Amino acid sequence: MSDSPDKVIILGGKGMLGTEVAAECKRRGMNFEVFDLPEFDITNTHQLLSVIHPAHTIVNCAAYTNVEKAETETELAFRVNAEAVGLLATSAKKSGAWVLHISTDFVFDGASGKPYAEKDIPHPINAYGRTKLAGERLLVENHCHNCIMRVEWTYGMKGDNFIKKILQKARTQKDMKVVDDQIGSPTATTEAAKAICDLIHKKPTGIYHFASQGYVSRFDVAQFIAEKLALDVRLTACKTSDFPSAAARPLNSKFDCSKIRPLLSGPIKPWQVPLEEFLKQL
C-alpha cells in the first residue's frame, strides 16, 4: 500500500454511501483506496491497524445499519459502530491521521420541535442510535484529529433505503400506507459524498450536520415519487404507531445545516432535485 500523505482511505467503501464517496473521489482526481467486507472487516483489529497505519486521511463509512436487527444483535452493532471506531481513533491519534466519521440523526430522540443543531444534546431511543452515539464519543474521547458528519434519510443505488422500498411495494400493492409523522430530509448519497469530499479538502474538526434542503414527511416523499413516476397506487397517510416495530424511530429528524454550509463548494440542493435525478436513473 502507498504511504502517500494525500491518500484517502475509505472504510465501508462498497456500501451505499461509501460507493458514492469513492466515485466522487475519482471524479475529483483524488488518490484513494476502498476497504470493505468480505475482504476487510472493521471489527478485525489486525486488519484495521494494517489498513489505517500508513494513512493520513480516513473516511469511515463502515457501520451496522439494520435498525430493527440492532435490537437483538446489539453486541454486533456495538462492535462495528462503537468499539471499532474507538480503535480507529486510538490508532489515528498515534499516526496523526485525520478521521472523518459518518454518523446519524438517530442519535436524537426526535422529541424536539426544532431542527437539530450540532450543540443539541443527543438522546437515542433505539439500540442502533445508542451504538452510533457510543462510536462518536469514543472517537472524541481518544482525542484524535477528527470530524463527525451526521447524515439522515440517505438513499442511493446500492443497498436498501426508503425510496427503493416504496418502489418495490408499488409493484405489488395498489394500496399503500405511509407514515406522515416522521419529518426529515431525503438525502442522496451523491450529495452527501460531495460534502464529504469538501470536508476532506479542508479537514475541519468537530460535528457537522448534513442533509438536503427542506423538510418533508415520509408520506409526502412517497407522494412525490408516485407523481413523478405516475405510479398506479393509492397512498394513505398513517402514524408511526400504526406500524409496530422492534426499534423506536425519532419523529423529528430535521437538521440545522447552517454550520457546514460555509465549508461546502456549492449550495445544498432542495431534496426534490437529487431525488428526481435518482428516479430518472432508476
Total domains present in the chain: 1
Tell me the CATH number at 22: 3.40.50.720
Grid cell in block for residue 193: 459524498
What whole-number distance in Å separates Cα of residue 135 and Cα of residue 119? 17
Tell me how long the chain is: 282
In a domain, 171, yes or no: no
In a domain, 121, yes or no: yes
Q: Band the pLDDT of 282: cuts 50, 70, 90.
A: confident
| Grid-cell match 440545522, residue found | 256
In a domain, 236, yes or no: no
In a domain, 122, yes or no: yes
Answer whether residue 5 shows pLDDT above 60. Answer: no
pLDDT tens across 235-270, in order? 999 999 999 999 999 999 999 999 999 999 999 999
3-class SS letters over 53-98: CCCCEEEECCCCCCCCHHHCCHHHHHHHHHHHHHHHHHHHHHHCCE
Answer whether residue 121 shows pLDDT above 60. Answer: yes
Of 128, 155, 208, 215, which one is the catalytic site residue? 128
In a domain, 262, yes or no: yes
Q: Is 215 a known active-site residue?
A: no
pLDDT tens across 167-176, in order? 999 999 999 9
Long-range contacts of 116-120 (CB under 8 A, 24+ apart): 116/209, 116/252, 116/253, 116/254, 116/255, 116/256, 117/209, 117/256, 117/258, 117/259, 118/206, 118/207, 118/208, 118/209, 118/256, 118/259
In a domain, 223, yes or no: no
In a domain, 152, yes or no: yes
User: How high is the pLDDT of residue 54?
Assistant: 74
The torsion defined by the Cα of 181, 186, 257 and 203, in degrees rounded to 10, comes to: 140
In a domain, 175, yes or no: no
| Residue-number span of the structural domain to which 139 is assigned | 8-160+185-214+253-270
User: How high is the pLDDT of residue 2?
Assistant: 41
pLDDT tens across 76-114, in order? 999 999 999 999 999 999 989 999 999 999 999 999 999
pTM, entire model: 0.95
